[in-house]
Amino acid sequence: NSIAEPTAVALGIFDGVHAGHKLIIRKAVKCSEKGLVPAVFTFDVDSISQKHGKEYEYIFSENYKHKILENMGVKYTYSPKMTDICKMNGEEFAYRILCRKMNAKTVVCGENFRFGDKRAGDIKLLEQLGKEFHFEVHPMPMLFHTHAPISSSRIRHALAEGDIPTANYMLGRPYMISGRV
């Protein structure tokens, strides 16, 4: 089903919904002041087996990620399996997903966002496609902690090392685990 209302779409995997991700999502949510409905395009983390050639380990479950997004004011979240999208080229993604499926009028993402088959698309391509398909693109700068970008991989590393204060700082909230005991 397609979204009928015009949207502001935040793009990203958003694993952990860390401080940098929150900037992107908040920018999309703020577009509600311009009459756009906040939406997120992400991937079902359970469908991601590898990222950057390494086995993918996610920080939060898919359900917990969706709760965080909802609590931030996101009305729509489209979270397909990575395999359903990863072979699309950039133009297909922009047209089929952002325009047709999500009715995007504004797209917000990190300045290092990559998309399309083999991650060939970058911000410049997304901006060109935005002009063609009538959506604005707002790239957001990366946030830094101790002279390096805040990233999900750095958070996973901090958690593996038992450095909970650093992980919490980069997450922008206390880390927690949810499950049945």
Write the pLDDT tens digit of every residue in 114-154: 988 888 889 999 999 999 999 999 999 988 998 888 998 89
Strand-pair category, 136-140 with 104-110: parallel
Output the pLDDT for position 87.
86
Answer yes or no: is pLDDT of 27 > 90. yes
Output the pLDDT for position 47.
61
Packing angle of the helix pair 164-171, 19-30 (nearest 10 deg): 20
Output the pLDDT for position 48.
63
Cα separation, 106 vs 122, whole angstroms: 16
Strand-pair category, 148-149 with 144-145: antiparallel
Which SS3 state, helix, strand or coil, does residue 63 take?
A: helix
Output the pLDDT for position 180.
81
Answer yes or no: is pLDDT of 165 > 90. yes
Of 56, 53, 48, 45, nearest to 15 (Cα)?
45
Output the pLDDT for position 154.
92
CB atoms within 10 A of CB 158: 20
pLDDT tens digits for range 51-82: 545 566 778 888 888 999 999 999 999 999 88
Answer yes or no: is pLDDT of 18 > 60. yes
